[in-house]
Amino acid sequence: MDVFAYTEYRSFLRDFYENRKEANPIWSYRFMAQRLDVDAGQLVKILQGKLHLPQRALQATLKLCGLEGREAAFFEEMIRFSRARSAEESSRCYERMQALRGVSAGVVQSDQAEYYGAWHHTVIRALLGMAPFRGNWETLGSLCIPPLRPEEAKASVELLERLGIVVRDARDCLRLADTHITPGEGVPVETVRKFQKETLDLAKRALEEIAREEREISTITMALAESDLPLVQGWVKDLRRQIQTLSDSTPEPDRVYHLNVQLFPVARRSRRRGPA
């Protein structure tokens, strides 16, 4: 079952119960209630939407439904959404749910790997998704930072169309084949790394050429345990999902941004504990 398809956690639990009951006749309200450490009558009212799931039963519910990570966080946010006492609180919960849902993304296949051959292909693609393109190569190139020559902009659009990353509609206008895309396993690692290095070079240029109020570049240095890394990586993924969701909901985008997030070791692991 796809928990992200729901906005009401009790509807998810009701469908979960019915699916299990259909697959296994011995599954009953009493059996499920025992797993959640609640009364069978209480469980029925929860599934009917008349009562809320008690907090003490949350972890057992997540385990029973096989929800972990982002799915578990989404389920908990659904509970907060259902319990919200104000429109403002409901709105905040719903926004977090949307961010946790993430966005669907097309996959760049191995025969489309050339898309990552230069940083400006991604920028041109984003610009084509913002407004109908009239074929003014000079204007299109000038919108990029740093600007492209008209022939570079034209070559980039031709590449995107040849790769099927942008397509022509019934009016012969270019549009995005997918709103979001991500490199597939067939794209060579070296190609993606080259692209990432180019975007890092753009970030260095932005430090000198872009006003501070138009960018966000900051750095912190901190000590963590190696076991903390998966948690931080999860937070970064959540941040990317939230920003992608914002991109989907922005009615009139007027600029294209690169988001680079770097986390890397700058000191070797200490061989002893305590102050050096």
Taking only the tens of pLDDT, the chain with its 276 residues reads 889 889 999 999 999 999 999 998 888 999 999 999 899 999 999 999 999 999 999 999 999 999 998 899 999 999 999 999 898 898 888 888 888 887 778 899 999 999 999 999 999 999 999 888 878 899 999 999 999 999 999 999 999 999 999 998 888 888 899 888 889 889 999 999 999 999 999 999 999 999 999 999 999 999 999 889 988 888 888 888 888 888 887 888 999 999 999 999 988 776 665 554
Position 270 scores a pLDDT of 65
State the fold for domain 107-217. Arc Repressor Mutant, subunit A (1.10.10)
Give me the residue label for tokens 């692209």.
195
The bridge status of strand 174-176 relative to strand 181-183 is unpaired
How far apart (Å, rounded) are the C-alpha atoms in residues 2 and 63? 15
Position 83 scores a pLDDT of 92
Q: Residue 15: name the closest of 37, 59, 47, 49 by CA.
A: 47
Look up residue 6 and give its DSSP letter.
Answer: -
How far apart (Å, rounded) are the C-alpha atoms in residues 211 and 111? 38
Contacts of 232 (CB under 8 A, 6+ apart): 224, 263
Bond preceding residue 146 cis, omega within 30 of 0 = yes
Look up residue 49 and give its DSSP letter.
Answer: T
Check if the beta carbon of residue 241 is closer than 8 Å to that of residue 182.
no
Position 108 scores a pLDDT of 93
Give pTM, 2 decimals.
0.69
